[in-house]
Amino acid sequence: MGFGKKKKDKAEQAIEQAVEVKAYGGVLPEKVYDYLLVVFCLAMCIMHMICAKKSFLQQEVYLTMHMFFSFIILFLSTAKKSESKIHNAFLFLSVALTFAFTIYVCCNLEALRVRQWVSTNLDIVVGCTMIVLALYACWLGFGKFIPILVIIVCIYPFFGKMMPGPFHTSALPFSRTISNLSIGLTTGLYDSTLTISANYTFLFCVFGGVMSATGVQKFFGEFGKWTVGRFRSGSAQISVVNTAMVGMVCGNAIANVTMTGPYCIDNMKKNGYNPTTATAISCVGSNGGQILPPVMGIVAFSMAGYAGIPYWTICKMAIVSAILYYLSLSLYAHLHALKTPELRTRIVEKPVVDWDVMKWKGPAFVVPFIIIITLLIQGKSVMICGFWAIISVIVMSYLAPKRHRPKVRALIDGFVEGAKQGAQMGACCAVIGMLVCTFTTSGMGVKLTSGIESWSHGSLFLALLILYIASIIAGMAGVSVAAYFTAAAFAVPALQKLGIAYATAHFFCVYPASYSTITPPVALTTLVGTQISGTPYGKTAIECCKICGVSFLAPFLFVYAPVLLLEGSLTDPTSYIQLLSVIVLTVAAQFCWVNYFCTDLTLLERAMFFLSFLALILYIFMSMNILCIIGLALFAAATVSHVAKWKKNKKKLVTSAAV
């Protein structure tokens, strides 16, 4: 019985009421949970939208309220689904304790500021309560991995004095540690990570929910038909266009696949694509939204707040790699269509475009898109961009004829879904703040940085490889922002010591974190996609990794070919040779993966494309011009040979048919 659903007849209502008693332990009817969630979600949205225009709360109160709403929404959402009375009772106790610590902090704000380093016993009790609630809320939102990782890191200061050699650290008093992690109001739960959640990510989570509620995805489908629907791989290209367009203004991979997946995956399956391949194409396209300007994703917001790099600068640096990402995906989809007999032989019909939908749904996408870019160029804050994006998508939706307007209840559901996503990120960022705080106060970050220098023996590539593996491990929780903060805390200083530019070092951490949503073992975007399509999770995750094979190398390419980030000397011919090499190696890699170009590759042709890919990668890493020449020559030779053979065979077929 979700909020805004039609009334059912008495028999159905009686059955559902009987189920409610079992499912909810008789604590509260489901409707009560629905209305409570609506109240708290809307209140959270209103608070953030008001603060975006004019902050009326002190920073500590604002962050406390952000935590308060995040925790309450997660606890109520879980209580609604819980079947255990004991679990429900614990959740309601958590709700009560969340109210209690919020009131305590807000009423004692000045006193807490004064006694920051000499906390009272009651302060310590409240601080411990906040820590436990934050870990529990994060557990409910994202599973066990992140809370367990943070607990392991946070107990380090208590046992650091017993650690050997480089990991030895002086112990901090218990009260000081708890103050740093929670009630101190400046670090730990209140670290920059929570500020990023409140100021950067929340309103764009809401924007994604509202945009979905207004039905803008119908425009994406029609726009895809109009632009790429006439190709043999049209159904897959429509998915690429849809996911890219949603990613431009949403930036949330899971929300993207949830919004576009049902239509795109089903459309590809109907047109002959293997269900696993169709799901993988949709998931990879959705994941790309995290690196596609102007909105990009939560990780990019986190980078702007944590690294202090202007968001518009991040957008400009990401544009080349984002274009290459989607070109690679589009090429894979097209080659797969040409290789699959059902798709290769079918008659391609010109798709019928619903121009009425294009006309009236389009402005709800185009106008917010223009507003976001304009405000970012003007240097406005991300909060202001999010505020006006939400306002504009609502206004443009209601300027359409009545048949295209969203219902008020659907709009409320959009705000609720967006707030739920924002609440999950709020709890996660609060917990990650404790990890960042421990890295800083205990000296663990410095020790890890020194350790990386020692383990790599001064080799830049070896250091990059170690840090890349660490980023992938951090991303096993399936949460991009957690992976980024964890890796950046020690990876960026290590890379800077090795001579890597500050922004490039952060980009090196951002990309593995962004790919964590499609990287096994915990690939949340892939998991959602498989739930939509019903395909096996393992096979789909492997297919996603095949499609993204070259993209996984992007962090290394950023370091050795800064032109991909529009860094370095753009007047140097070497920069453009590197860019050409990256484009060619991307194409060569997809030819090898799919084993197809104009027709099936011979073993020799496939080997030549692979060697071309390998030579160009080594050229980027080693700056040996001879490798570039070899790589480009092999690619050209394989291409000319293959096309000539294909044309010859095609001519024979035409001649045979004529006879």
Each residue of 526-585: pLDDT tens digit?
A: 988 998 988 999 899 999 998 988 888 999 999 999 999 988 777 788 989 999 999 999
Higher-pLDDT residue of 516 and 622 is 622
Higher-pLDDT residue of 74 and 470 is 74
Q: Where are the alpha helices (DSSP H) in 340-407?
A: 341-345, 355-361, 363-377, 382-398
Residue 20, phi-psi category: left (phi > 0), alpha (psi -120 to 50), beta (remainder): alpha
Please report, as a single letter, which amino acid is at residue 6.
K
Would you say residue 659 has pLDDT above 60? Answer: no
Would you say residue 130 has pLDDT above 90? Answer: yes
- Output the pLDDT for position 524: 82
Average pLDDT over the chain reads 86
- Give 72's Cβ-side CA count (13 Å radius): 24
Mean pLDDT calculated for residue range 202-211: 89
Between the CA of residue 322 and those of 134, 228, 288, what are the distances in Å?
Answer: 34, 19, 7
Please report, as a single letter, which amino acid is at residue 108.
N
pLDDT band (50, 70, 90) for residue 282: very high
The contacts of residue 434 (CB under 8 Å, 6+ apart) are 131, 134, 150, 153, 154, 181, 182, 188, 189, 191
- Output the pLDDT for position 166: 62
DSSP state of 499: T
- Phi first, then psi: give them for residue 191, nearest 5 degrees: -70, 180
Query: What pLDDT, in 10s, does the model give residues 341-376?
Result: 777 666 667 788 889 888 888 898 889 989 988 998
Reported pTM: 0.82
Mean pLDDT calculated for residue range 618-640: 94
Would you say residue 228 has pLDDT above 90? Answer: no
Cα-to-chain-centroid distance, residue 211? 17
Higher-pLDDT residue of 256 and 587 is 587
- Output the pLDDT for position 6: 43
Which token pair is 274?
């293997």
Which token pair is 55?
């902050």
3-state secondary structure of 173: coil
Would you say residue 381 has pLDDT above 50? Answer: yes
- Compute the distance between CA of residue 39 and CA of residue 34 in angstroms, rounded to an integer: 9
Q: Which of 147-156, 192-201, 435-444, 626-635 has the lowest average pLDDT?
A: 435-444
Q: Quick check: bond before 401 cis, omega within 30?
A: no
Mean pLDDT calculated for residue range 255-263: 86
**Helix and strand totals (H; E) in the chain:** 32, 0
pLDDT band (50, 70, 90) for residue 21: very low
pLDDT band (50, 70, 90) for residue 504: very high
- Output the pLDDT for position 2: 43
- Compute the distance between CA of residue 196 and CA of residue 426 in angstroms, rounded to an integer: 9
Percent of the chain with pLDDT over 70: 92
Would you say residue 404 has pLDDT above 80? Answer: yes
Residue with the two structure tokens 């400009």: 316
Query: What pLDDT, in 10s, does the model give residues 322-334?
Result: 999 999 999 999 9
Would you say residue 14 has pLDDT above 50? Answer: no
Q: Where are the alpha helices (DSSP H) in 565-624?
A: 573-594, 603-622
Q: Which of 72-76, 224-228, 264-268, 295-299 has the lowest average pLDDT?
A: 295-299
**Burial class of residue 440 (count of CB atoms within 10 Å of its CB; 0-12, 13-18, 19+):** middle
- Output the pLDDT for position 47: 96
Higher-pLDDT residue of 472 and 75 is 75
Residue with the two structure tokens 């404790």: 434
Would you say residue 634 has pLDDT above 90? Answer: yes
Q: By C-alpha distance, which of 264, 271, 320, 268 is closest to 292?
A: 320
Residue with the two structure tokens 């391609």: 348
Rg (CA), the chain: 26
- Output the pLDDT for position 643: 92
3-state secondary structure of 625: helix
pLDDT band (50, 70, 90) for residue 167: low
Mean pLDDT calculated for residue range 74-85: 88
Mean pLDDT calculated for residue range 264-282: 91
- Output the pLDDT for position 653: 66
Mean pLDDT calculated for residue range 69-75: 96
- Compute the distance between CA of residue 226 and CA of residue 176 in angstroms, rounded to an integer: 62
- Output the pLDDT for position 412: 94
Higher-pLDDT residue of 14 and 366 is 366
Q: Which of 99-103, 468-472, 497-501 has the lowest average pLDDT?
A: 468-472
Most confident stretch, 23-37, 152-166, 191-205: 191-205
Mean pLDDT calculated for residue range 482-499: 84
pLDDT band (50, 70, 90) for residue 151: very high
Q: Quick check: bond before 521 cis, omega within 30?
A: yes
- Output the pLDDT for position 97: 96
pLDDT band (50, 70, 90) for residue 20: very low
In order, the DSSP letters of 415-450 are: HHHHHHHHHHHHHHHHHHHHHHHHHHHSSHHHHHHH
pLDDT band (50, 70, 90) for residue 586: very high
- Output the pLDDT for position 27: 66
Strand partners, 600: 596
